[in-house]
Amino acid sequence: MAFAVSGALLDACVLGTLSSAPAYGYELTQRTQNTLGVSESALYPVLRRLLKDNLLSSYDEPHDGRNRRYYQLTEKGMILFQTYVEDWQVFKANIDTMIFSNNQGGLNLDE
């Protein structure tokens, strides 16, 4: 992917992934890696920081003789995620305007 995903955008993607249901760490890292190309080693510090900031909570569940750590949004995390969604809609519209309304090179971007 040509665009780097970091900072608030990565936080928003993690919160968005968890907004519908909890996920265990490996599952979450695989989804993020497959969708955004973000490495597993980059994601775990994000999870730790979101936990520290009380945007996520975690719990362990046994699975095949081992524990899986699940992450879920807290109320504070859901509120921040909703803010990110609103901010993203404005940001995306602004970027779309810049990219698509200034298409003077004659490219057909609809194909």
pLDDT tens digits, one per residue of 3-48: 777 789 999 999 999 999 999 999 999 998 888 888 888 899 999 9
Global pTM value: 0.82
**Number of Cβ within a 10 Å radius of residue 107:** 8
pLDDT given for residue 5 in this prediction: 77
Q: Rounded to the nearest 5 degrees, what angle is found at the Cα of 28, between the Cα atoms of 24 and 32?
A: 175
61-109 tens-digit pLDDT: 999 999 999 999 999 999 999 999 999 999 999 999 998 886 655 556 5
